[in-house]
Amino acid sequence: MRKKRGIIENSSGVVAIEAALLFPVLFFLLLAILETTYVFVIAIVLEGATSEAGRQVKTNSFQADATPQDRRNSFNETLCNNMFGLISCNELNVDVRNFTQFSGINPPPFDPNPDGEGNEFLPGNPGDIVLVRVLYKYKFITPMLGTALMEQTGADFKSIMSNIVFRNEPA
């Protein structure tokens, strides 16, 4: 005959309870891994797109009769085409400035607002030094992951920024 066990000795359902306790931790870990990978992919693609669009400025491959607005639009189009639809192009903030010397590069802080007052598009002339900055504000889904990865606190959005500095080719 089978002996009846008390509630303390009963082990049925232990696996379900352990799984219920571990599932949120494992889900959070999986989400953090996926989101970290996504952020790094965005950073790599943004870096490549900035480099490709910067090459357009460096080689002065704009049309000869292009207006400054046409040049900016062409630059933005090249930048967006090289983002491969990973993020929306209207979420990118662009700042292009020219300088006469590498030692003179001291740009003002990046204006994170789209088409911000502080952002310019000045690709310069042949031989000028040009700084191209592209910023993307990313909102993290995983709690506290943005603070751990980006060293920024107090903001909902964390900035992923790409910079490239070069000398324009001679005419």
pLDDT computed for residue 101 by the predictor: 87
CB atoms inside a 10 Å sphere around CB 63: 9
Whole-number Å distance between alpha carbons of 53 and 83? 11
Locate 44 and state its tokens: 């790599």
Q: pLDDT tens, 92-104?
A: 889 999 888 888 8
Higher local confidence (pLDDT), 152 or 26: 26
pLDDT: which is higher, 36 or 116? 36
**Is the pLDDT score of 81 beyond 90?**
yes
- What is the mean pLDDT of the segment spanning 57-69? 81
Distance from the first to the final alpha carbon of the chain: 100
- Burial of 101-138, coded b for 16+ CB within 10 Å and e otherwise, reads eeeeeeeeebebeeeeeebbbbbbeeebbbbbbbbbbb
| % residues pLDDT > 70 (the chain) | 82
Give 138-154 pLDDT, tens digit per residue.
888 887 777 776 665 55
Q: Domain locations in the chain?
A: 14-167
- In this prediction the pTM is 0.79
Q: Could you give the CA distance from residue 89 to residue 85 in angstroms, rounded to a whole number?
A: 8
| Angle value at C-alpha 50, between 168 and 43, nearest 5 degrees | 150
Dihedral, CA atoms, 99, 105, 109, 112, nearest 10 degrees? Answer: 60
